[in-house]
């Protein structure tokens, strides 16, 4: 009868060594291929802002197609915006707003766009809100969507008669801050929304959109 021959210890060690090398090569590739949850939430928030702003602007609330032309622009827009989304907390009654450039509107300077966008980011970083569902407080209008993203800012109390113009285009924007991981380590992303619904992204958001994104990143000159 033929004798059955098993693997020797040396052969097993060689097989294990080969598997270890394969695992070392594939592991980083697998992790790199896996989507980053914060980046997925960021892109979702970015497209949400665009779609929701368009929906609000074209609603019966703004028959003139101007987000500033209502009795209480900040509160009205906050409620109209949050009503479109699935929120688990909202407080549009807050009495404070994000003040930029000594006024209630952010002014984008196309001739110094990098500085402008960094300024937009800096105000969101300086006004980060704590979780109201855990006892956190803030006087800024804000809400939390069902996916755990924090939204705040929503200051539309700028005076259209005092708007800054560049080549005949009003360049005043309200500041909207979005924190994709709530009170996590990721810093907030800043956006500007103009009276006519145009969305401007801050410096950080612009960099994230450049990473494999096919969407258009708006500037004032486009």
25 has a pLDDT exceeding 60:
yes
Mean pLDDT lowest among 15-19, 62-66, 196-200:
15-19
218 has a pLDDT exceeding 80:
no
Mean pLDDT value of segment 168-197 = 85
Kindly state the helix (H) or strand (E) to which residue 174 belongs, with its residue range: strand 172-179
Band (pLDDT 50/70/90 cuts) for residue 206 is: very high
Mean pLDDT value of segment 147-158 = 79
pLDDT at res. 182: 84
The phi-psi region of residue 174 (left if phi > 0; otherwise alpha if psi is between -120 and 50; otherwise beta) is beta
Mean pLDDT value of segment 44-66 = 90
Nearest by Cα to 98 from 142, 66, 67: 142
C-alpha to C-alpha distance for 185 and 73, rounded to whole angstroms: 32
Mean pLDDT taken over the chain: 78
- The pair phi, psi for residue 19, each rounded to 5°, is -65, -35
13 has a pLDDT exceeding 70:
yes
Q: pLDDT by residue (tens digit) across 105-122?
A: 788 888 888 998 998 898
> 179 pairs with which residues across the strands?
150
Q: pLDDT by residue (tens digit) across 71-94?
A: 888 788 888 888 888 888 888 887
pLDDT at res. 221: 43
45 has a pLDDT exceeding 50:
yes
Rg for the chain, CA atoms, rounded: 24
pLDDT at res. 222: 41
């Amino acid at each position: 009868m033929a004798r059955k021959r098993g693997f020797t210890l040396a052969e097993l060690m060689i097989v294990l060594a080969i598997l270890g090398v394969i695992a070392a090569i594939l592991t980083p590739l697998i992790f790199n291929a896996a989507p980053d949850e914060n980046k997925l939430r960021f892109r979702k928030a970015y497209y949400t802002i665009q779609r929701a702003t368009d929906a609000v602007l074209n609603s019966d609330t703004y028959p003139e197609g101007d987000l500033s032309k209502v009795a209480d622009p900040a509160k009205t827009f906050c409620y109209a915006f949050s009503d479109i989304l699935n929120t688990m907390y909202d407080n549009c009654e807050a009495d404070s707003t994000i003040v930029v450039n000594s006024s209630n509107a952010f002014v984008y300077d196309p001739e110094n766009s990098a500085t402008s966008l960094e300024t937009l980011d800096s105000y969101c970083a300086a006004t980060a809100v704590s979780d109201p569902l855990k006892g956190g407080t803030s006087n800024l209008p804000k809400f939390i969507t069902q996916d755990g993203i924090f939204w705040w800012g929503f200051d539309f109390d700028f005076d259209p008669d005092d708007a800054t113009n560049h080549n005949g285009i009003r360049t005043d924007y309200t500041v909207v801050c979005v924190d994709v991981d709530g009170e996590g380590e990721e810093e907030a992303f800043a956006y500007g929304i103009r009276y006519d619904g145009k969305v401007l992204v801050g410096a950080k958001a612009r960099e994230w959109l450049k990473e494999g994104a096919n969407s258009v990143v708006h500037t004032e000159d486009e």
